[in-house]
Each structure stands twice: as C-alpha cells, then as structure tokens.
Amino acid sequence: MTAATDRGLPSAEELRALEKLAIDVAAEAARFVVERRAAELQVTTKSSDVDIVTVMDSRSQELIAARLRAARPRDAFFGEEEAADGRTDQAPPGTTEPAGSGLTWVVDPIDGTVNYLYGFPQYAVSVALVQGDPTVPGEWRPVVGAVADAVAGRVHHARLRGGAWTRTVDGADEPVHVSDATDLATSLVGTGFGYDAAKRGRQARALAELIPHVRDIRRGGSAALDLCHVAAGRLDGYYEMGINPWDMAGGWIVLTEAGGTCTGAQGEPPSSDCVIAAAPGIAEALTRAVDSVVDLVRHP
Ligand code: IPD
C-alpha cells in the first residue's frame, strides 16, 4: 500500500489523538505486565514446546482491547492472543473483525514473551493502528504506532508524517533518528529466530552466510524493540524471516518516521516471509545480503 492511498486516512488532528491513545494504552499495559510478572507467570505452549504464552499475554490483550473498544468502537481489532476467558467478541489470531472505520488496531500484548518469562529486560507492548487488511502483505500500512519498552518505562511512538519520538519516564518526548551508517561491513545488525526447531536451523545457516559481511549481530528477542532500535540508531539494520503483523506494525511506523526503510526481500513489501529494516545508507546493501540468503530459510 502506497502513500497515494490517503483515502480514508484520519485527519492530521485525528491522527494526533489516535497516537496519544496508542501511547496511553501501550504504556498502561506495559506497567500492568511488569507489575504483575512475579505473581502471574503461568505458562502454556502454542505452536511448539518453546512457543509460549503466559497468562499475562492474555490479560494484557484483554486490557488493551477493552480500552481501544471503549474509545474506538468502529475500528477492527487484530491481536496476537485469544482472550483467556474465551469471550466471543475477541478476534482469534489470524482473523480480523469487520471495521466500520476501515482501520484496524494491530496489537502485540507482550512482544518478547520468552524474555518476559526469564525476566530478560527486552519485552514490549506494541499497539498500532493500520489502514488496509493486515492479513494481506502489501495491502496495509501502519498509520500510528506505540511500542512501550516495558522494563525501561519508555514509549517509542509515531504517526504518519508526524516524526518519531521516544517518551521518556518523565513524560518528555525526544526525537528519534536512524544512524548515518553507509557501510554494511561496519554495521550492527539485529535479527531473530522462530519457534520451529527446523526453521531455526535454517535461519542459523542463513546467518552464518551473512555474519562475515557485517560488524556483528544482535538477537534481542523482541522484534518490535529491534525495529525501534534501528529507528533510534542503536542498530543500523535488522532482518528476520517469520515475524507476524503484530510484531512489526508498531515498530514499522516508528522506523519509517525516523528516516529508516522497512521492506521485504527482493523488493517486496514487509511480510511474514521477510522484514528488512535499515538506515537508508545501508538499505540497499543489507537487502542484497538478505536476498542472497533468504531461500535458505524459505525452503527446507
Ligand atoms: C517474537 C519476538 C522475537 C522474534 C520472534 C517473535 P513473541 O514475538 O518478536 O524477537 O524473533 O520471531 O515471534 O512471540 O515474543 O510475541
């Protein structure tokens, strides 16, 4: 979806209010998951033994859904987790509810769930408002995003054409900008791995091909924060094959509003197949490098 598709886009003033809503809701849910972590660490598994969901993922999503529905009843809701209490008005993963407004809230109630389980301080709540259908690559784009870095107490946020910002613990907004890297060989690049053991093996083989061409690799464990780290120049780039719309939506708009690029492999739009995030000076080189290894991950 291109910038030309501004039909149905809320006004600049509305976007500002929607950004504030996203920030407030993400920050509230982040405080909630941090405060309740010690008491509520019940875990079940999803797609594999290492793909976990905690009770707090579900509770966080319920809280976010309740706040957003109260404020914006005509928007659709697309969240990672099913409601723990089985309410039928909650969209299951992979589906969206029909939107009267043409806008959908795409939510990851805890991105970095394994970090959350271990108390490794890299997990976030991501709340984004998107235009288009978030289940179809190329047919949607985020227009507002807030990624609350739960342990640090900061919220990275952006709205379309409004710049990218980090709200500090004392409530000040600081501007966020990508690095001025121009050389892939001296760039710090983030990545991540999926929950399927066979796929992780393929991702590791792709990484082994790529690592000689960069300064070093970081694996933080939260794709939403990885995208915000690129936005803020703490990483020069990031790529991953296999993340979902809820992992990428909030960080994507923070990154692009910070001057970065967010694409898929081989010039495609970002999708679950591949996301490549970069400072503009290395975008082409990183894309070429990822393009050269992406098939190692795609094909068993
Ligand atoms: C995961 C994280 C991780 C990435 C995985 C994601 P979750 O999301 O973003 O960094 O490598 O691919 O699934 O499961 O913690 O919400």
Please tell me the distance between residue 113's alpha carbon and the centre of ligand 1 in angstroms: 7
Q: Which ligand 1 atom minimizes the distance to the CA of 219?
A: 10
The yes-or-no verdict on residue 85 having pLDDT over 50 is no
The yes-or-no verdict on residue 249 having pLDDT over 70 is yes
**pLDDT tens sequence across 13-30:** 999 999 999 999 999 999
Neighbour order of strands in the sheet with 275-278: 216-218, 188-190, 237-240, 275-278, 261-263
The yes-or-no verdict on residue 49 having pLDDT over 90 is no
Atom 11 of ligand 1, nearest CA residue: 192
**pLDDT tens sequence across 270-292:** 999 999 999 999 999 999 999 99
The rounded percent of the chain whose pLDDT value lies above 70 is: 92
**pLDDT tens sequence across 203-234:** 999 999 999 999 999 999 999 999 999 999 99
Per-residue pLDDT, averaged over 137-155, amounts to 97
pLDDT value at position 92?
Answer: 42
Q: What is the dihedral of CA 92, 98, 99, 104, to 10 degrees?
A: 30
Please tell me the distance between residue 82's alpha carbon and the centre of ligand 1 in angstroms: 17
Q: From the DSSP assignment, how many helices (H) and strands (E) are in the chain? A: 8, 14
**pLDDT tens sequence across 60-79:** 999 999 999 999 999 999 99
Q: Which ligand 1 atom minimizes the distance to the CA of 51?
A: 14
Q: Which residues line ligand 1 (CB under 6 A)?
A: 80, 108, 111-113, 192-194, 221-223, 240, 242-243, 247
Query: pTM above 0.95?
Result: no
Which of 122, 243, 246, 274 to probe ligand 1 with, by most ligand atoms within 8 A of CB?
Answer: 243
| C-alpha span between 49 and 154 (Å, rounded) | 31
Cα–chain center distance at 36 = 23
pLDDT value at position 55?
Answer: 87
| C-alpha span between 30 and 148 (Å, rounded) | 6
Q: Where are the alpha helices (DSSP H) in 72-147?
A: 113-118
pLDDT value at position 103?
Answer: 95
